Amino acid sequence: MSGVVPGSSLNAARRARELVRTAEERVDVLVVGLGATGAGAALDAASRGLDVAAIDAQDLAFGTSRWSSKLIHGGLRYLAKGQVGVAYESAVERGVLLTRTAPHLVRAHPYVLPLTPGVTGARAATVMTGYLLGDGLRRAAGTPRRLLPGPSALPAGRVRELAPVLRADGLRGGLLSWDGRVLDDARLVVAVARTAAAHGARILTRCRALELRPDGARVRDELTGEEFEIRARAVVNATGVWAGGLDPRVRLRPSRGTHLVLAAGALPGLRAGLHVPIPGESNRFALVLPQADGRVYVGLTDVAVDGPVPDVPEAPEEDVRTLLDVLNGVLEIEVPRKAVAGAYAGLRPLLAGGGHTGGHTGGHTGGHTGGHGDGHTDGHASGYGDGHTGGYGDGRGDPGAGGRTADLSRRHAVLSSGGLVTVVGGKLTTYRRMAQDAVDRAVAVRGLRAGPGRTAAIPLVGAGRPAAGTPRRLAERYGAEAAAVRPLVESCPEPVGLGLTRGDLLWSVRHEGALDAGDLLDRRTRIGLVAADRVRALEAAEGMFG
């Protein structure tokens, strides 16, 4: 497969045409929010033959979806809590991404847990037992070992080969595990949205929902200021941490997860990810993830956030210092504050009080809430319920304003009242299942004529083998579309940062729905994660729209 998937290109001209059409016609399903779950719901509904419009007040992957740890994980932490079903669901969805839907974007990656003096023998044995059980879930989910190798114990010398930055004194060895990682979470969302467009969905960014109703929404075109109505047979609210602003039934307790972006060379020779035990926590680890460009991401915090939800959360200095302290606790040479080239923070849309929300909200609205919990801090949470018996929760109740968000259930919930369906919570790994649950509910409550969800078998745009002779950089970034991108890159080779060129930016304008420089620098690429890089690339990005 090569070239552009027919009907998948998103651009300003297509947006303008489809915005007019959407204002004139009634759609089967209106999806609000174009993060991973919303884009996934648009694809799920469109692939069932439903007429779909999907809107977002900002851009694709503008919210939590682009601020994850980039993990596509098999739910290992759930096993530690006895949540085998939850872990199995994560393992299944990880396998779907690795093997069928997004093998060009999601790949296996090794992680080392260093056995430092702070990790007792008993704790190491417990962790390895969990790794082995996780490998059993991999087998049960049908993911081949060639794609996801099993765990093993490593001698200290081998650990230092993979991570020479680790302190040698007291290092007894390490535990090696493998899990999935997405090379760029925002690009995953763009691929899902473009695949939905190829199935006929109208993907409309800069289109803000002002009010939701069971039969549609009042919206505003943020580019022109014009307000109009979108009529729909069913509405799915997938706006994440902003869901409560459109559906008053939703009660969330956002949690901030901060990551550091270390400058290239800050951790020389790092060839594997690291799981660094967090002092005082029995089952939480900081994640150290090397990037292809030499940068290293370090995360992540779990801090309750009160008050209004900002468009773009800031990473406070307190979080930066906390993560540096954890990291430096296992390193040979201390990473200084000046090595932090950038930082980012995302807000997890956690349900406040799983027991109350699950049992109470489900009972009063007839929706379904509760279900599968998460606990792994990849920027999201997950779960689903049956929706017919009043819902159910995790029984914990709300820890209150002073409680730890780390103790809140990582469940996703699907609430329905009339034709309005709201999906909240969730994690990046299981976005597809969350989307399917939401569309299942919309189809059921509104009596839409549609078959079962089939997105587990639909390859995303770019999935497939690149053409022979394709440069490695293009193959890794664009997959099967690399041959179509190559002429643009070769005709516009001027560098803009992170190994990208003006040709890459032009591709994003013509085919990936970028409407301004922010879309290009902050979501189609991650140049904007480091402020100095963003400044250098800004003129080239703005020139794409001249």
Q: Give the mean pLDDT of 445-472.
A: 95
pLDDT of residue 241: 93
Find the DSSP H helices in 3-83.
12-24, 36-47, 76-80
The reply to whether 528 falls in a domain is yes
Going by C-alpha positions, the residue among 181, 165, 157, 159 that lies closest to residue 74 is 181
Lowest mean pLDDT among 115-129, 179-193, 271-285: 271-285
Q: pLDDT for 12-51, tens place per residue?
A: 999 999 999 999 999 999 999 999 999 999 999 999 999 9
Structure tokens at 305: 């956030």
Cβ(428)–Cβ(378) below 8 Å = yes
**Which three-class secondary structure state does DSSP give residue 98?**
helix
The reply to whether 477 falls in a domain is yes
pLDDT of residue 353: 58
Domain that holds residue 533: 472-543
- Judged against a pLDDT cut of 60, whether residue 187 lies above it is answered with yes
pLDDT of residue 418: 75
Q: In the structure, what pLDDT confidence band is assigned to residue 233 with cuts at 50, 70 and 90?
A: very high
Torsion of CA 444, 449, 452, 457, to 10 degrees: -130
> Where are the strands (E) in 238-315, listed by range?
255-262, 273-277, 285-290, 296-299, 303-304
pLDDT of residue 253: 85
Residue 438 CA to residue 444 CA, distance in Å, equals 10
Torsion of CA 54, 58, 61, 67, to 10 degrees: -150
Structure tokens at 260: 């550091």
Counting runs of H as helices and runs of E as strands, what totals does the chain give? 16, 20
pLDDT of residue 411: 63
Lowest mean pLDDT among 200-204, 394-398, 432-436: 394-398
b/e 459-490 (16+ beta carbons within 10 angstroms → b): bbbbbbebbeebeeebbbbbbbbbbbbbebbe
The reply to whether 324 falls in a domain is no
Q: What percent of the chain has pLDDT over 70?
A: 89
Q: In the structure, what pLDDT confidence band is assigned to residue 191 with cuts at 50, 70 and 90?
A: very high
Q: Structural domain tally of the chain? A: 1
Cβ(372)–Cβ(86) below 8 Å = yes
Q: Give the mean pLDDT of 499-527.
A: 98
297 backbone dihedrals φ, ψ, rounded to 5°: -95, 140
Q: pLDDT for 70-116, tens place per residue?
A: 999 888 877 777 778 778 989 999 999 999 999 999 999 999 999 99
Torsion of CA 483, 488, 492, 495, to 10 degrees: -50
Cβ(413)–Cβ(371) below 8 Å = yes
Residue 42 CA to residue 489 CA, distance in Å, equals 30
Q: Which residue has the higher pLDDT, 241 or 412?
A: 241
The reply to whether 440 falls in a domain is no
pLDDT of residue 358: 37
Q: Which residue has the higher pLDDT, 14 or 349?
A: 14
Instruction: Quickly tell me which residue has 């745009």 as its tokens.
Output: 461
| Averaged pLDDT score across all residues of the chain | 88
pLDDT of residue 2: 56
The reply to whether 332 falls in a domain is no
pLDDT of residue 426: 74
Rg of the chain (C-alpha set): 22
Q: Does this model's pTM top 0.85?
A: yes
The reply to whether 511 falls in a domain is yes
Single-letter amino acid, residue 305: V
Q: pLDDT for 382-411, tens place per residue?
A: 332 323 222 222 223 333 334 443 434 456
- Which residues neighbour 65 within 8 Å (Cβ) at sequence distance 6 or greater? 35, 36, 37, 185, 186, 188, 189, 240, 379, 380, 428, 431
For the chain, the helix, strand and coil percentages under 3-state DSSP, each to the nearest 5: 40, 20, 40
Most confident of the ranges 73-77, 370-374, 504-508: 504-508
Q: What percent of the chain has pLDDT over 90?
A: 76
Q: Give the mean pLDDT of 469-487.
A: 95
The reply to whether 405 falls in a domain is no
Q: In the structure, what pLDDT confidence band is assigned to residue 327 with cuts at 50, 70 and 90?
A: very high
Give the single-character DSSP code of 284: -
pLDDT of residue 283: 74
The reply to whether 159 falls in a domain is no
